[in-house]
A and B are shown apart, each in its own frame.
Chain A
């Protein structure tokens, strides 16, 4: 079954014979060095904005992270102490662990759902995913995360839709104020993330399936491959790149989440849903612990890079 993809006729890549040294007329050197440097005039505004408001700020964060500083008074060099604190102080470490848990909801569930939808839709080839479906599925993607936070605060309220539905199906005994529940708040916040990214993953994976040749599925069917085998050996490998994109984008939004959590719970109850983004904000702007805030922000950035870079490699099209 695994060799389904190779059973399709393949044409050997065209080999263009190496051309001899190109005989071209000696080109007048229109582009003098000075003229090429003058092209920088086009790039300078971008460099200025980027350097001043982005790169400089990143470097400064790294620098602050090595100090103990309240933002106003004198600062003390503490070396890597702030980083040690992140690993040893549960108040700082827990937000990072929560962010990792959120990957399950922001990334794993939406990608799985998207894959199932894409596979199910495979026979339709996106004809039904017309304007209406696209509009509705993309809606969560375009509203601000802060608005999603407000919307779901109401969904999860005592008398909100979630509890209403549970009563309807006879689970009335389990209703609660979800965002205020120590055990369930993080899961509840996680499902907001699922809501935010499912449509995006579904549409991206569906458009990817449209590009897989139908003859591949036809050949597999003739070979006697069932739906699950076709899913495993054609759909999933064929969507490798799209899966990579969904995973990357949603992992970044899970780890760097701020607006949803800030508005839905602000990290509560009692830090049960605290995420690095909200913690950085609190440390810097309520507790005046700029060194700790910067160190946590740096760790968060490194965590994102450490997860995203290998993924890029993994999902790159060979």
Chain B
């Protein structure tokens, strides 16, 4: 919109800007075309084969209601929320405590612990999936949300500690001294002095953990057999194999299953982009 505002046309910079703006527009269209094409297909009459990107003459909005029922979205929403509420606060809390212990309290062997965490930072989920299946099975937690939550917390530790450590390293040392002079114990110093200052770091970490938990696929697929107890992303697999031939319902359902992330993202897009860019560049 800003492109056509008269004040810009007068600026000589417009000609220099045009290629950049065009590029970003092309990239933007490219980003959303697959989603728009799903959307248009989801509005075609059920049982028909929609054609690419074409707005249906008579959009069938009730397809989304039908897909909501057949994809079990209510159940899946509850399951995903439960998993996120189990994973995110726990991961962030214990990772923060550990990073605090390593950097501020300087626990003995803390550096060794940190290096141990770094060791697995870049390893893919594929390398843990087989033993994890057996471990969760032995615990009797297969096919339950708890059996997904606990491993996810463990797998989050390298990144989450790494993230919070980077924050604490930059926290002024005088803070700790001041707190300890005031007679605050390490716990009070953490909750009263360090955590309030760590709010931006914690918020970003919460968003990143939310995103990765909500989008968990491989672990959900392996550890939870009942698709209704999976994350929404994990449930896509069962839904797709059931409705692979019904293109209209498949697209409507898949859109519903990704809608919550998109909504949360749209609401918090500023924080999200910041967290995602930071998440990549930290360290």
Using CB atoms and an 8 Å cutoff, list the residues of chain A in contact with chain B: 30, 33, 36-37, 39-43, 45-47, 49-58, 60-61, 64, 71, 113, 116-117, 120-124, 128-148, 150-152, 154-155, 157, 159-161, 163-165, 195, 198-200, 202-204, 207, 241-242, 245-246, 249, 252, 255-256, 258-259, 262-263, 276-277, 280-281, 284-285, 290, 293-294, 297-298, 300-301, 304-305, 308
Contact = CB atoms under 8 A, between A and B. Distances in A.
Interface in B91-149: 94-95, 97-98, 100-102, 105-108, 110, 113, 116-117, 119-120, 122-135
Contacts of A164: 51-53
B272 interface: yes
A45 B95 CA distance: 8
Interface string B221-264: 11000000000111011001000000100110010011001100
Given A159-B51, A198-B27, A138 B132 contact: no
A64 B108 CA distance: 33
Given A42-B105, A123-B16, A297-B127, A52 B122 contact: no
Contacts of A294: 130
A160 B236 contact: no
B95 A139 contact: no
Interface of B: 2, 13, 16-17, 19-21, 23-24, 27-28, 30-35, 37-38, 41, 49-53, 94-95, 97-98, 100-102, 105-108, 110, 113, 116-117, 119-120, 122-135, 150-151, 153-155, 157-158, 161, 180, 186, 190, 211, 214-215, 217-218, 221-222, 232-234, 236-237, 240, 247, 250-251, 254, 257-258, 261-262, 265-266, 269-270, 272-273, 276-277, 280-281
Contacts of B116: 50, 55
A131 B273 CA distance: 10
B222 A46 contact: no
Given A128-B17, A300-B126, A146 B276 contact: no
A195 B33 CA distance: 10
A241 B280 CA distance: 11
A277 B270 CA distance: 33
Given A128-B2, A137-B27, A160-B37, A300 B127 contact: yes
A61 B129 CA distance: 9
Contacts of A305: 122-123
A43 B214 contact: no
5 contacts: A41-B101, A120-B19, A145-B215, A256-B125, A262-B217
Given A148-B34, A163-B52, A199 B128 contact: no
A135 B129 CA distance: 33
A203 B281 CA distance: 12
Nearest to A51: B154
A144 B104 CA distance: 36
A146 B237 contact: yes
Residue of A40, A124, A142, A258 with most partner-chain B CB within 10 A: A142
Contact of B107 (A39, A121, A297, A301): A39
Given A43-B102, A124-B20, A152 B34 contact: yes
A280 B129 contact: yes
Contact of B27 (A37, A143, A199, A308): A199
Contacts of B237: 146, 262-263
Given A129-B24, A263-B236, A304 B247 contact: no
Contact of B157 (A46, A152, A281): A46
Contacts of B132: 53, 57
A51 B122 CA distance: 16
A146 B236 contact: yes
Nearest to B102: A43
B269 A131 contact: yes
A159 B94 contact: no
A301 B129 CA distance: 12
A57 B131 contact: yes
Contact of B254 (A138, A151, A198, A297): A151
Contact of B154 (A39, A54, A124, A245): A54
Contacts of A284: 129-130, 133
Given A147-B254, A151-B34, A49 B94 contact: yes
Contact of A304 (B2, B95, B124): B124
A111 B128 CA distance: 30
Contacts of A147: 233, 236, 254, 257-258
A258 B217 contact: yes
Residue of A54, A138, A246 with most partner-chain B CB within 10 A: A54
B126 A42 contact: no
Contacts of A200: 276, 280
A253 B191 CA distance: 36
Given A252-B124, A259-B233, 15 more contacts: A36-B106, A43-B107, A47-B113, A53-B154, A54-B158, A61-B131, A123-B20, A124-B20, A133-B28, A147-B236, A147-B254, A154-B250, A161-B37, A262-B217, A297-B126
B31 A199 contact: yes
9 cross-chain pairs, A with B, having the tightest CB-CB distances, nearest first: A53-B154, A164-B52, A256-B124, A46-B98, A144-B233, A39-B105, A42-B101, A60-B131, A57-B128
Residue of A39, A145, A249, A276 with most partner-chain B CB within 10 A: A39
